[in-house]
């Protein structure tokens, strides 16, 4: 593979742009007789004028040798062993150069029938390590011994051309690790680059391989895709090349039925809203994200359960929550700390729909009210009609001062649906008394 060595005077990277802890690791490895390089995203982002999110190091030292050298280290990973050097909250990841596989030794390397790597503890030299990298823009090594950059596969030129290229045969590399298809999308939107046609060509056909990726790993990948300020761009590109459906099959089924329906409108709104909150440094949470994305699959499932079983709308809604969340967790593992509040947000939708009156004051105190209210507003935009009117009522109530809220609530009691519903309940609960005995049977005179 092509190697370009860019000397210190021919590139823009300065040690002042590298974290102090990363430099400590690099220098200690180098002074101990090992080769040490800053690699991948840290090098790439500095060259692009961006601030790196993290700094990764590669070396010819084995994980056990790294652990002996750094007391503040721990070894992690089963698929590929890594060392984490811990400096308080800062963690520098150090990997040993990866090498090519020996098919006769499945103790250190192993693939499944689809070609996906299950075990990858094969060590080698820097040239082999570069060939094992995914994209050329990540095959960049900053050498701490002479401050040069080793660029493999034309990576330094691809950065200038702003193009995403896979190293090696695209189909083979995607089969080794299907998540590389998602990474191609994420790098393209994050770095404002285009995916090379040869790199993009196999993606639609191989997209179903994502179903075989462990759901816990997919949870982390979804966070990177949708919680870094590029949610809308990533969503649109994933839809274009077939990568969204394997991750969200319930949502995709509804969009396929109605390409311009409420589900599609909701997704566009959620992605845009998430990007806006990230740009404003406001918190974003998976609980709200999944509650919003899965609202219409939940609604359809609740309608199906009510039709099949005869359950009330409320009971069918509650039963559907478990079904929809369970099915989503087959592809993306959603931790309980997020799935539980997502269900609270769902349940509050029913209360928001029927509480346009004085009971609205009590709902305001619910810890998940704001998230549920935000979802109601998105539903109002997507659906209009009656839900739009309810969303407008709540918006006027939330944005009003105390006196205005009281007036709005009283008006809601007169005109809202809650009064009729309570009257029906009272009528339903009134006991039927026989005309011949007007007194209750157990009343003592």
What is the distance between the alpha carbons of residues 323 and 328, in angstroms, rounded to a whole number?
Answer: 9
Q: At what angle do helices 249-257 and 313-328 cross, to 10 degrees?
A: 120
Which whole number is the average pLDDT over 324-352? 96
Say which range, 12-16, 221-225, 404-408, has the weakest mean pLDDT.
Answer: 404-408
The model's pTM = 0.84
Q: Among 245-254, 278-287, 338-347, 431-440, name the one with the lowest average pLDDT.
A: 431-440
Is 60 exceeded by the pLDDT of residue 62?
yes
SS (H, E, C) 23-72: HHHHHHHHHCCCCEEEECHHHHHHHCCCCCCCCEEEECCCHHHHHHHCCC
Alpha helices in 162-248 (DSSP H): 170-176, 179-190, 197-200, 203-206, 215-226, 231-240
Active site residues: 54, 56, 134
Mean pLDDT across the chain, nearest whole number?
A: 89
Q: pLDDT by residue (tens digit) across 266-292?
A: 999 999 999 999 999 999 999 999 999
Examine the pLDDT at 109 and tell me if it is beyond 70.
no
Q: What does the DSSP 8-state code read for residue 98?
A: B
Q: Is the pLDDT of residue 252 over 90?
A: yes
Q: How many CA atoms lie within 13 A of 228 on its CB side?
A: 15
What's the pLDDT tens digit per position in 20-42?
999 999 999 999 999 999 999 99
Q: What's the pLDDT band for 355 if we cut at 50, 70, 90?
A: confident
Identify the pLDDT of residue 36.
97
Residue-level pLDDT at 122: 79
Q: CA-to-CA distance for 350 and 363, rounded, in angstroms?
A: 12
- Hey, is 75 helix, strand or coil? strand
CA–CA separation, 121 and 82 (whole Å): 10
pLDDT score at 411: 80
Q: Which whole number is the average pLDDT over 107-120?
A: 49
Residue 117 scores a pLDDT above 70: no
Q: CA-CA distance, 76 to 109, in Å (whole number)?
A: 17
Residues 188-244 pLDDT 10s: 999 999 999 999 999 999 999 999 999 999 999 999 999 999 999 999 999 999 999
pLDDT at 443: 31
């Amino acid at each position: 593979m092509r190697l370009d060595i860019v000397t210190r005077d021919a590139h823009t990277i300065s040690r002042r742009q590298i974290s102090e802890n990363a430099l400590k690791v690099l220098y200690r490895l180098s002074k101990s007789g090992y080769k040490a390089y800053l690699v991948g995203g840290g090098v790439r982002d500095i060259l692009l004028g961006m601030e790196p999110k993290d700094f990764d190091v590669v070396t010819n030292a084995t994980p056990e040798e790294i652990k002996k050298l750094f007391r503040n280290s721990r070894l992690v990973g089963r698929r590929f062993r890594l060392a984490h050097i811990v400096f308080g909250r800062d963690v520098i990841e150090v990997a040993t150069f990866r090498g090519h596989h020996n098919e006769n030794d499945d103790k250190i390397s192993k693939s499944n029938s689809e070609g996906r790597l299950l075990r990858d503890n094969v060590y080698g030299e820097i040239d082999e390590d570069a060939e094992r990298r995914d994209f050329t823009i990540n095959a960049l090594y900053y050498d701490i011994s002479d401050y040069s950059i080793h660029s493999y596969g034309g990576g330094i030129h691809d950065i200038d051309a702003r193009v995403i290229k896979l190293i090696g045969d695209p189909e083979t590399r995607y089969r080794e690790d299907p998540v590389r298809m998602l990474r191609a999308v994420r790098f393209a939107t994050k770095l404002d680059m285009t995916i090379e046609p040869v790199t993009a060509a196999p993606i639609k056909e191989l997209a179903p391989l994502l179903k075989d990726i462990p759901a816990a790993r997919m949870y982390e990948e979804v966070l990177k895709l949708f919680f870094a300020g590029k949610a809308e761009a990533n969503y649109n590109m994933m839809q274009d090349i077939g990568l969204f459906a394997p991750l969200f099959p319930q949502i995709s089924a509804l969009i396929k039925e109605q390409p311009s329906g409420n589900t599609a409108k909701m997704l566009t709104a959620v992605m845009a809203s998430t990007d806006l909150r990230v740009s404003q440094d406001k918190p974003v949470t998976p609980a709200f994200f999944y509650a919003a994305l899965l609202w219409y699959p939940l609604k359809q499932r609740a309608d199906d359960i009510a039709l099949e079983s005869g359950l009330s709308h409320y009971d069918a809604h509650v039963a559907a929550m478990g079904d929809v969340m369970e099915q989503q967790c087959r592809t993306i593992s959603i931790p309980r700390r997020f799935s539980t509040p997502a269900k609270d947000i769902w349940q509050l939708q029913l209360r928001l729909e029927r509480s346009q009156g004085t009971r609205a004051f009590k709902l305001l105190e619910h810890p998940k009210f704001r998230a549920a209210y935000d979802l109601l507003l998105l539903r109002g935009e997507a659906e209009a009609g009656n839900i739009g009117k309810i969303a407008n009522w709540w918006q006027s109530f939330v944005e009003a001062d105390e006196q205005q809220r009281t007036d709005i609530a009283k008006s809601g009691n007169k005109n809202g649906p809650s009064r009729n519903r309570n009257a029906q309940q009272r009528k339903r609960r009134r006991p039927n008394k026989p005309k011949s005995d007007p007194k209750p049977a157990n009343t003592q005179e």
